[in-house]
Amino acid sequence: MMTVEANPFAFHFDPTSVALIVIDMQCDFINPGGFGETLGNDVSHLQRAVSPTKDLLTLFRHKGWPVIHTRENHLPDLSDCPPAKRDRGSPSLRIGDDGPMGRILIRGEPGAKIVPDCTPIEGEHVIDKPGKGAFYATNLDKILSKLGTKSLVFAGVTTEVCVQSTMREANDRGFECLLIEEATESYFPEFKAATLKMIQAQGGIVGWTSALANFQAAAS
Ligand code: C5J
């Protein structure tokens, strides 16, 4: 077993049953001109998560531990996009509209791709998901069961939406979940801070969080 100095207390994991899950590190969220910006967000906040996520990817690849990437997107005919999602609010462009990185949040378009520093390599799993949580309408459960995963290390964006939703779903399914603090970001720094606290509260009700350096030290 390996032990990470974490919050609210030490996180133990077996290196034979750990996997990294990188949530939605896509151009549509992180770069100007994508889904995130159409909603009125300052996307520069999310760029802080790129380099720490790259460091985590490097570590997992070096160790030969499994890596799973997710991408939030929709089919070109929008058949998997509930009108309630597309019609909500008054974004500058809606899901499926043409934007500077292709159609907003549509599978296969440049905006839906993962940013170059976090691009998946051969052998890594890539899951396209229509929802915020990565278990809904995907085969993530099956992949994790095939891998024999018990502990999930989380990175990605945004902290309080797709990362937290997926972490809660995973926690309910019995996975031990650790979120790496520098490898996740929100458009709203106060939401990131609150989410880290929510996860750690009540004896780690959703899981654990730790600094990247603590995870690196434990894994070395
Ligand atoms: C959002 C996500 N924020 N990946 N998606 O709509 O967090």
**Following CA atoms 43, 177, 170, 116 in sequence, which dihedral angle do they give, to the nearest 10 degrees?**
40
pLDDT, residue 189, reads 97
- What is the predicted ipTM? 0.96
Give the Å distance between the CA of 5 and the centre of ligand 1.
28
29 CB within 6 A, ligand 1: yes
Amino acid identity for residue 200 in this structure: Q
Contact criterion met (CB below 8 Å) for 157 and 23: yes
Q: What is the pLDDT of residue 162?
A: 98
pLDDT for the residue numbered 58? 98
Each of the 220 residues of the chain gets a pLDDT tens digit; together they read 999 999 999 999 999 999 999 999 999 999 999 999 999 999 999 999 999 999 999 999 999 999 999 999 999 999 999 999 999 999 999 999 999 999 999 999 999 999 999 999 999 999 999 999 999 999 999 999 999 999 999 999 999 999 999 999 999 999 999 999 999 999 999 999 999 999 999 999 999 999 999 999 999 8
pLDDT at 204: 97
The Cα angle at residue 190 between residues 192 and 57, in degrees rounded to 5: 25
Atom of ligand 1 nearest to the CA of 158: 7
Task: Look up 54 and say whether it is catalytic.
Answer: no
Which pLDDT score is estimated for 149? 98
Which of ligand 1's atoms lies nearest the C-alpha of 162?
7
Cα separation values, 200 from 9, 141, 159, Å: 9, 24, 14
Q: Which of 54, 113, 129, 132 is catalytic?
A: 129
Cα angle: 34, vertex 39, 41; to 5 degrees: 85
Query: Cβ(128) to ligand 1 under 6 A?
Result: no
24 a catalytic residue: yes
